[in-house]
Chains A and B, each alone.
Chain A
Amino acid sequence: MATEKDWTHKLATIDPRVIFLLLLISVAAPLLMPFGLPVGISPPTTSTFKFIEGLPSGSLVVSAFDMSAAVAPECYPQVAAFTTHLKNKNLKIIEVAFDSAGPMFADQALRDVFGASKDHPLYGKNFINLGYIAGGEAAMKTFAGNPKVIQKDFYGKDVKDLEIMQPLSSARDFKLLIVISGSQVDNFVRQFGDPHGVPIVGAVTAVLVTRVMPYYPAKVVGYLNGLRGAAEYEQLVKRPGIALAGMDAQSAAHLLVIIFIIVGNVGYIVRKTRRPS
């Protein structure tokens, strides 16, 4: 008979805090001492890269920051990677946020990639940070219908005086919409993709990928899958960054959890097979 003190019981009922501690160590250690496992590049990342490569120089691209600060560790490395790509291809970038934290990251991306945001000589000409529009999907609909509905940019400048906004009348003028999101892309497909035919690229958290896939490749032309997608894109734009560094920590953490799942099942199965005897 299996008793309460039995080893199988112990295996099946490990204190969650032991798991928490080991998980923390498995993430923290490889960040200090990376072991450098190779990262392959997946097709959706390649198609994202190719689509942006194929845009004629000077095309208008909208980066929609529907991201909260909480998903920044996953999404911001993506933003940095593709903003670099947009800059290298000399495309015009309109940054707009549908989450209140978005404008800060939009600003940070400009500073990281261009070296400055609102004080950059090309601000208002090659890129702009329109700031946050409250109201979720309803706001997206309004913006898609008339991007000039926004009166002032994030820094309080009058938007109508800025060169980049002049040719805009509706979302039809956008050559690409990059959705940076940890919540959903369906709303962007509904308000930009379906009614205005704007191609969409998802710079999304790994969670969201299952929700993006039904739209790929018809409405969503490509997507980056969380931190891994960022690590892949960093390789494509030849700008290795924090995403690549994090991949070893990912490997260790995944391995740890799978080991715990196995251990738990060993305890469970042994107890179950013993019981009838």
Chain B
Amino acid sequence: MLPFAPGVVHSFILLVISSAVMIVLLYASRKGRVPKIRKLAAIDAIDEAIGRATEMGRPLHFTPGIGDFYGYDAPMTIAGISVLGHVARRVAQYNTPLIVTFAAPEIEPVITDVVKQAYLAAGRPERFNPDSIRFISTRQFAYTAGVVGILHREKVAANLMIGYFAGESIIIAEAGFLAGAIQIGATANTYQIPFFVVACDHVLVSEELYAAGAYLSKDPVQLAAITGQDWVRLIAAAFLVAGCVLATFGISWIADFFKM
């Protein structure tokens, strides 16, 4: 028996099962099994937004938020950067001006790298403008002030906020609206989602953020990971249904498992 920390066994077992399910699906798709995913309107709207900025000949602003690479915000930042790769390739093709802003200096090299590679992949390395990658400030609301200023001064046509956002979400989103931009908001920081819902044209709600990069890549292996999300969702739902039904009759097997 492994030397478990107290009260984590149930979680460990479910983590192993969930990871195994996802890994099996990834392998299956490598062997040519193409997973089916329904249309996700909010993610498809990203291309619409790029198109709109291109038509208007005005810049597209992208921000992965105020997150960095450690802690709670790390996965959201990574998911945002994954979408940035796709966005940058498109704007490179269409020659749409791009502005990327962020608040954590340690993500700057990655962002520059992603955007540069995207221009290279689109066969347009000369179109890459180093001034488009803008570290604003490490401090949350100084960052916000900077972004709000940019949205107005540079007449941004499309504003993509995809990553980790906190109290600044409504400020950036409403300022973007007042500046007349088409807006897409995406964050897994649950209590900021309502602000994107009221102020943005399209919203990727919580876990859709994590699915976005994979969905846009159209790579079967990555899509398999989204299918994996569904499998784990069904496993969680099955535990819930079984546990609640048993609890109704006063049987606590499932509840006991979760106390392990």
Hey, which bits of chain A sit against chain B, CB under 8 A? 16, 68, 70-71, 135-138, 182-184, 186-187, 194-195, 207-208, 210-211
User: Which partner residue on chain A sits nearest B189 by CB separation?
Assistant: A184
Whether A70 lies near B141 (C-beta < 8 A) is: yes
Q: Which listed residue, B7, B72, B190, B191, touches A187 by the CB 8 Å rule?
A: B72
User: Which partner residue on chain A sits nearest B190 by CB separation?
Assistant: A211
Whether B71 lies near A16 (C-beta < 8 A) is: no
Contact of A138 with B70 at beta-carbon distance under 8 Å, contacts A16-B178, A70-B140, A195-B5 already known: yes
23 contacts between A and B (CB under 8 A): A16-B178, A68-B139, A70-B140, A70-B141, A71-B167, A135-B71, A136-B71, A136-B72, A137-B71, A138-B70, A183-B166, A183-B167, A184-B72, A186-B72, A187-B72, A195-B5, A207-B167, A207-B191, A208-B191, A210-B190, A210-B191, A211-B190, A211-B191
Query: Which residues of chain B are near A16, meaning CB under 8 Å?
Result: 178
A208 nearest CB across to chain B (Å): 7
Whether B71 lies near A187 (C-beta < 8 A) is: yes
Q: Which listed residue, A68, A138, A195, A208, touches B71 by the CB 8 Å rule?
A: A138
Whether B72 lies near A137 (C-beta < 8 A) is: yes
B191 nearest CB across to chain A (Å): 6
Query: Which residues of chain A are near B178, meaning CB under 8 Å?
Result: 16
A140 nearest CB across to chain B (Å): 9
Contact of A135 with B140 at beta-carbon distance under 8 Å, contacts A16-B178, A195-B5 already known: no
Query: Which residues of chain A are near B191, meaning CB under 8 Å?
Result: 207-208, 210-211
User: Which partner residue on chain B sits nearest A141 by CB separation?
Assistant: B71
Query: Which residues of chain A are near B140, meaning CB under 8 Å?
Result: 68, 70
Query: Which residues of chain B are near A195, meaning CB under 8 Å?
Result: 5
Whether A135 lies near B167 (C-beta < 8 A) is: no
Total contacting residues, chain B, CB less than 8 A? 13
16 new A-B contacts, CB < 8 A, other than A137-B72, A195-B5, A207-B167, are A16-B178, A68-B139, A68-B141, A70-B140, A70-B141, A70-B167, A71-B167, A136-B70, A136-B72, A137-B71, A138-B70, A184-B72, A186-B72, A187-B72, A194-B7, A207-B191
Query: Which residues of chain B are near A135, meaning CB under 8 Å?
Result: 70-71
Among A16, A70, A211, the one with the most B-chain Cβ atoms within 10 Å of its Cβ is A70
A173 to B141, CA, bound (A): 36
Interface string of B131-171 (1 = CB under 8 A from A): 00000000111000000000000000000000000110000
Query: Which residues of chain B are near A207, meaning CB under 8 Å?
Result: 167, 191
A208 to B140, CA, bound (A): 17
User: Which partner residue on chain B sits nearest A210 by CB separation?
Assistant: B191
Q: Which 10 A-B pairs have the closest CB atoms?
A: A137-B71, A136-B71, A70-B141, A138-B70, A207-B191, A211-B191, A183-B166, A210-B191, A187-B72, A137-B72
A111 nearest CB across to chain B (Å): 24
Query: Which residues of chain A are near B139, meaning CB under 8 Å?
Result: 68
B152 nearest CB across to chain A (Å): 14
A138 to B69, CA, bound (A): 11
Whether A137 lies near B166 (C-beta < 8 A) is: no
A143 nearest CB across to chain B (Å): 14
B170 nearest CB across to chain A (Å): 10
A207 to B195, CA, bound (A): 12
Query: Which residues of chain A are near B70, meaning CB under 8 Å?
Result: 135-138
Q: Which listed residue, A137, A182, A211, touches B167 by the CB 8 Å rule?
A: A182
User: Which partner residue on chain B sits nearest A68 by CB separation?
Assistant: B140
Query: Which residues of chain B are near A211, meaning CB under 8 Å?
Result: 190-191
Query: Which residues of chain A are near B7, meaning CB under 8 Å?
Result: 194
A211 to B189, CA, bound (A): 10
A183 to B71, CA, bound (A): 13
User: Which partner residue on chain B sits nearest A99 by CB separation?
Assistant: B140
A104 nearest CB across to chain B (Å): 14
A76 nearest CB across to chain B (Å): 16
A149 nearest CB across to chain B (Å): 17
Among A183, A194, A208, the one with the most B-chain Cβ atoms within 10 Å of its Cβ is A183
Query: Which residues of chain A are near B166, meaning CB under 8 Å?
Result: 183
Interface string of B1-31 (1 = CB under 8 A from A): 0000101000000000000000000000000
User: Which partner residue on chain B sits nearest A16 by CB separation?
Assistant: B178
Among B139, B190, B191, the one with the most A-chain Cβ atoms within 10 Å of its Cβ is B191
A195 to B139, CA, bound (A): 30
A182 to B166, CA, bound (A): 9
Query: Which residues of chain B are near A70, meaning CB under 8 Å?
Result: 140-141, 167
A16 to B179, CA, bound (A): 12
A150 nearest CB across to chain B (Å): 19
A194 to B70, CA, bound (A): 20
A71 to B7, CA, bound (A): 35
A70 to B166, CA, bound (A): 12
A135 to B70, CA, bound (A): 8
